[in-house]
Structure 1
Amino acid sequence: MMDYTDRHFRHLIRLLSKQTLLYTEMVSANAVAHERQFHQTHYRQQHPEACLDTMLQNYNIDYIATRFLAQGTAQEGPSILQLGGSDPDLLYQAAQAVSELSQRSYSDYHCNYTALNLNCGCPSPKVAGKGCFGAALMDDPVLVRDLCHALYEGGQQQYPVTVKCRIGTDTKRSWKDDNNNNNYDEALYQDLCHFIETVAAGGIVQEFTIHARIAVLTKSFSPADNRKIPPLKYHLIQRLVQDYPHLRFILNGGIESIPQVQDQLHRVPGLRGVMVGRAFCADPWRFSGADALLYHSNDTEVPLHRWHILQQYAQYADAQEQQYDPTTIRRFLIKAVTGLFAGEPNSKKYRIALDEIAGLPKKGIHTPVSELLLEAATKHLSEETLFRSPLESYELQTQGQNKDLVQEWQADRQVIL
């Protein structure tokens, strides 16, 4: 998710789950390619005698890593770099930058992604409208196939390439004509099949993550509208799983809990997985039992409780502030943990305390961030909240004691920016 699943948030999630597959924010291929070209040109001017290998090892790719591509630690585990763009050359160069950075084992930065993903699902007017990529790409599956080929070749054929998309767009038929019409659904499904078949025909893409809503690309429709108004059509993804058993499909859209994940996996044998976005950002702890419940990991691999998670994250935050300027990185570090105690008594007081902590470096106050994070938690949160286990929290979910925290998060997420 843009502005949320950065490397700090992904580090927090990896503390909660070792097994789940993580996605980065969508990174603009244009931005990565531009910075790569700029720093390569600058290095050539300063060192005209340098050979290509030396240049790749020494030009300022560290800046590119810090800004666009870096992972929080070398132990980030299964994770996919999500790229956005509609120019094959720029996507090729962006994938090249990823490959180059991954080869710099001595670097202070980590770039060990499991796969590269092309975003064909973002309906934002800035992306699908002015940018002419994201969900707009679904109307040109041949181009999508070429873009995926460019990613594969730019990454030196070492990264699998996947596609994240929707079930379609409104360019051929309006979502208002739906009304649970079987003919509408069938036409929509045939268009989706054409997209899947065309992209997969390139021999590169074997996996699709599909948001089960149509993308409405008219300017009057906001990203929030696109997440709520078009109806979810899980049955279309279920059909894809049945009709294309040689491909892998991941269902996305409207999933807010582990029980819902379990339900979809039970309903659709052969479904590769289920993606969770906003609900994970709103309440990460809600999914802390994922390894035990979905991957059947040993109890020793499951996080103990939120106090343990916060202690580990606090150590990471200290290390980050030793490497980077606290006045610039502090707010990003703090933002990652704002939802860790969502829905708990006094959680709002805790978030307000985090907001104050985020601004301290600019006031010249340099108390270690770990000390501040842990002090705020013990001051505002109960022992029951701090030390509740993942499985105890899961039982509360199944008993219906968790309120809808996604809407609450939507309202409060501007507290820390």
Structure 2
Amino acid sequence: MTATPATPATIPRGRRISVAPMMDWTDRHCRLFHRQITRHTWLYTEMVTTGALVYGDVERHLRFNDEEHPVALQLGGSDPHDLAVSARLGEKWGYDEINLNCGCPSERVQKGAFGACLMAEPELVRDCVKAMRDAVSIDVTVKHRIGINETESYDFVRDFVGKVADAGCTTFIVHARNAILKGLSPKENREIPPLKYEYAYRLKRDFPDFEILINGGIKTQAEIDEHLRHVDGVMLGREAYHNPYLMATFDQRYYGDDAPVKSREEVLRAMMPYIAAQLAQEGGRGLKLNTITRHMLGLMQGLPGAKNFRQTLSDSKKLAAGDPALLLDAIPRGL
């Protein structure tokens, strides 16, 4: 199901709640699964580098499912021209937003001169954002950290946002930790630098007309509600992946949608036609059942039988049959 340009009137525009771009996780199958749980939560792609789009297989990197809207394309790059080309491709393929990655701390990303290291070059980020905004009519946003390395001053992130805003960007997604560019792995960078939510709150106070979203270590509905007292939106990361049913009431609670909440079994049943269609279309190109089901292992998180559910959907012999009915076999008894 290749996406076609969306009809703006049909897309909920509020980024009140979103799911973070996560490498190796938030692919089109993961996003389609999340969309069965929540209709309005904003979804983000894995980061796609400009090189992959300028020189690589555009369809492989940009195709997605119509049902994913609203969905944003996150780009990694630091060349204004290449980012403009890539943003234009993203708009052509029907994405609702282009997001620039200024937060990833991995050394591999740094070698490409983008990610969190861009925070040291706000003028370059400004130029990149301007080039993209000139190229597309959809939103261009920036996801960033609050600092890099030992920089602890709030002034650093305030000045970064102010400089980038000169290009017309008004939406900033703030991962409320520093990025340590040397000595910590990406995983450690998500855990060791302390969270400073107050920095995101201060950005909203200092830039009241901007849309400020907060990200980092958020796991519960109570935490979401507290953050929304101070900022415009909350971006969930790994909690949305490991405990996706947390999002089951988001449409009602945060978007005013009175549609019934889907049960976990209804979510699984909704995935079955999609899985069958994907296997029929792409089985010959190496798509396997576990390529999709691996994103669903956390659906029963916290319930009796969750371990057996995960084991069933991870059983190589059962997966080899390629039968979507495996989802129903995995449902814990008494659910």
Q: Fold conserved (TM > 0.5)? A: yes
| Distance of 1:245 and 1:227 partners within structure 2 | 28
Change in CA separation of 1:99 and 1:115 when aligned onto 2, cut-off 3 Å: closer
The match for 1:395 is none
- For residue 90 of structure 2, the aligned residue among 95, 98, 115 is 98
Query: 1:159 is matched by which residue type in structure 2?
Result: I
Using the aligned pairs only, state the percent identity.
37
SS at match of 2:228: helix
The match for 1:230 is 193
Q: CA contact under 8 A between 1:85 and 1:134: conserved in structure 2?
A: yes
- The within-5 A match list for 1:10-409 is 10-35=31-56, 64-65=58-59, 67-71=60-64, 73-100=65-92, 102=93, 112-128=94-110, 130-154=111-135, 157-170=136-149, 174=150, 184=152, 188-203=153-168, 205-218=169-182, 220-266=183-229, 268=230, 271-298=231-258, 301-325=259-283, 327-356=286-315, 360-361=319-320, 365-366=321-322, 369-377=323-331, 381-384=332-335
Change in CA separation of 1:331 and 1:358 when aligned onto 2, cut-off 3 Å: farther
The match for 1:411 is none
Deviations 1:174-216 (A, max 9, x none): 26xxxxxxxx5xxx2111111111100012x110000111111
4+ runs of 1 displaced by more than 4 Å?
A: 357-361
Greater per-residue strand proportion: 2
The match for 1:408 is none
| Distance of 2:271 and 2:33 partners within structure 1 | 6
CA shift for structure 1 position 358: 7.9
Coordinate RMSD, CA, aligned? 1.8
| Distance of 1:99 and 1:22 partners within structure 2 | 15
The match for 1:410 is none
Change in CA separation of 1:3 and 1:358 when aligned onto 2, cut-off 3 Å: farther
Q: CA contact under 8 A between 2:122 and 2:160: conserved in structure 1?
A: yes
| Distance of 1:286 and 1:202 partners within structure 2 | 36
Kindly tell me the number of residue pairs found equivalent between the two proteins.
313
TM-score by length of 2: 0.88
CA shift for structure 1 position 382: 2.4
CA shift for structure 1 position 151: 2.1
CA shift for structure 1 position 360: 4.3
Change in CA separation of 1:19 and 1:201 when aligned onto 2, cut-off 3 Å: same
SS at match of 1:334: helix
Deviations 1:154-179 (A, max 9, x none): 4xx22210000000101xxx26xxxx
| Distance of 1:211 and 1:358 partners within structure 2 | 40
CA shift for structure 1 position 149: 2.0
Deviations 1:276-309 (A, max 9, x none): 01000011012211111222321xx233310000
Larger gyration radius, structure 1 or structure 2: 1
- The within-5 A match list for 1:2-17 is 2-17=23-38
TM-score by length of 1: 0.72
Query: 1:341 is matched by which residue type in structure 2?
Result: M
Q: CA contact under 8 A between 2:102 and 2:144: conserved in structure 1?
A: yes
Query: 1:217 is matched by which residue type in structure 2?
Result: L
| Distance of 2:159 and 2:304 partners within structure 1 | 50
| Distance of 1:302 and 1:13 partners within structure 2 | 16
Q: Which runs of 5+ in 2 are unaligned?
A: 1-21
CA shift for structure 1 position 27: 0.8
CA shift for structure 1 position 93: 2.1
Query: 1:64 is matched by which residue type in structure 2?
Result: V
Change in CA separation of 1:337 and 1:144 when aligned onto 2, cut-off 3 Å: same
Change in CA separation of 1:99 and 1:275 when aligned onto 2, cut-off 3 Å: closer
Q: Which runs of 5+ in 1 are unaligned?
A: 36-62, 103-111, 176-183, 385-417
